[in-house]
Amino acid sequence: MNIQELEDRFRESKANSRRPPTIHTSNRASEMGHPCDRYLVLLRTKGDHRSPVSPQLQAIFDEGIRHERSAVADLEEIGVWLRGSQRDFPPNTYQITGHVDGILPLAPPWLGVDRGPIVVEIKGLNPHDWNRLEQSGDRVDSLRGHRWMRRWYAQGQVYSFLADGPGTLFMLKNKATGWPLFVWCPLDLDYVQGLLDRAERINRHVADGGLPDYLKDPSECRRCSFFGGVCTPPMEFGGDGYVETAEDVIGTFDRWAELKAKLGKDAVELAVLEVKCKKYVRDVLGEQDGAHFFAGSVVAKTKLVQVKGYEVKPKTSVWVELTSLREAKGEADGIEETA
């Protein structure tokens, strides 16, 4: 076995350990801060249609579990003992479920609140975002306003409400150094009410079989595991855009993404498929500069390149870049949420 085979084995192990996407039977507290109502309804009705996470993202999830275990040990070393780890909340009219990382039954004096229980949530952060949060003037506001950390904030608010507690204590560990930031987020009842109203909207859509309107935000939609499949929002992507719907064509592009993720295996088939996919994109989009093409787990972007002519006449060449959305999401989202 050589180094490449060793890396391939690791990738295969992570790919095999992924849980297949399933339909959610409730509103997950960890998702209530997501910006798109349509996404939340689809989780409840077509959750099994999502594209699976990449092996890289699965590795990050696994690493997050290890960070959580070590964080609990770190807390115990300084005399903070959590109770109710992974405790589920009882059924409620909002159909919101979740399990907390831990509970402090009584409010510790150093927290400055007069009652418990205190919800404790442990998360891992990449060094860049950890440093930005550490240096921010208002860590609560930064947590609440960040593109993806706002989901953590919403999760903590829902947990605090369901636990009848005064707020959530976040322990945010720097994944490079292991050093923590502690952020106390008091319960904001007005904010929570908005989340509860949202849960009720979701429940109504699930009951009547309807769907909310599209979000139509390219920065969010491109990361969505439903995008290009059961959800194809009409939007502008900084140039003309096209979403493929033919199942056989989507299968070809998904196969390219699958082979691309194997880093060297089946190189001949990968090369043949890449030529085929790029030709298909050129045929569909023509000579458009900066146009986007979406097919299943792949996004392609065109760029016009002027080819100088010597013995032959000058011409315009359409250069196509193929990117696996699963790999892109692994890079973009994988550094975000780990636990």
pLDDT for 25: 95
Q: Which two tokens stand for residue 98?
A: 């979740």
CATH 3.90.320.10 fits 3-212, yes or no: yes
pLDDT for 206: 97
Note the pTM of the prediction, 2 decimals.
0.72
Sequence-ordered list of residues with C-beta below 8 angstroms from that of 310, at least 6 positions apart, any chain: none
Distance CA 156, CA 150 (A): 10
Distance CA 298, CA 322 (A): 7
- Annotate 239-299 with three-state secondary structure: CCEEECCCHHHHHHHHHHHHHHCCCCCCHHHHHHHHHHHHHHHHHHHCCCCCCEEEECCEE
- Domains of the chain, by residue range, sit at 3-212, 219-330
pLDDT for 336: 41
pLDDT for 12: 92
Distance CA 115, CA 109 (A): 10
pLDDT for 67: 84
pLDDT for 239: 53
Sequence-ordered list of residues with C-beta below 8 angstroms from that of 243, at least 6 positions apart, any chain: 228, 232, 294, 295
Instruction: Provide the CA 275 distance to its chain's centre, in angstroms.
Output: 30
Q: Which of 43, 151, 153, 49 is nearest to 95 (CA)?
A: 43
pLDDT for 333: 43
Block mean pLDDT (10 aa), the chain, length 339: 88 91 95 95 95 85 87 93 84 94 93 94 91 90 89 97 96 93 97 98 96 82 81 65 75 83 74 92 86 81 77 73 62 41
